[in-house]
Amino acid sequence: AQSVTQPDIHITVSEGASLELRCNYSYGATPYLFWYVQSPGQGLQLLLKYFSGDTLVQGIKGFEAEFKRSQSSFNLRKPSVHWSDAAEYFCAVVTNYGGSQGNLIFGKGTKLSVKP
């Protein structure tokens, strides 16, 4: 069965420092991968997605992620964190977008705190 693991429950970084959030997935075929961000009281917002092609994908708000098939990973990165990036981040894989299904399987999330 498909699954997503986010090993870090909570990360604290200083404003201006670089950030990497880890995500590992378990999926038999080529996965469709997503990163979402959730701020308190807000819905989930898509940061970026990977379906195929270039394994380094760019997203909104200066985020990028790299798909590494050999490591079953899709880590999220940002070179310089801003205080407004404090939120919870979720990695997700979709079950089967080609067919009639396509629900997302999410990791448990990583809460990001930013120190001034």
Partner 1 sequence: DTGVSQDPRHKITKRGQNVTFRCDPISEHNRLYWYRQTLGQGPEFLTYFQNEAQLEKSRLLSDRFSAERPKGSFSTLEIQRTEQGDSAMYLCASSFQNEQFFGPGTRLTVL
Positions that interact with partner 1 (CB under 8 A): 4, 32, 36, 41-46, 49, 51, 90, 92, 94, 97, 100-109
The minimum distance between CB 30 and partner 1, in angstroms, equals: 14
The minimum distance between CB 17 and partner 1, in angstroms, equals: 25
Two structure tokens written together for 55: 């394994």
Nearer to partner 1, 27 or 106 (CB): 106
Nearer to partner 1, 85 or 109 (CB): 109
**CA distances in angstroms from 94 to 1, 81, 97, 109, listed in the order given:** 12, 28, 7, 16
- CB burial readout 46-71, b (16+ within 10 A) else e: ebbbbeeeeeebebeeebbbbbeeee
The minimum distance between CB 6 and partner 1, in angstroms, equals: 8
User: Cα separation of 4 and 7, whole Å?
Assistant: 10
Nearer to partner 1, 99 or 116 (CB): 99
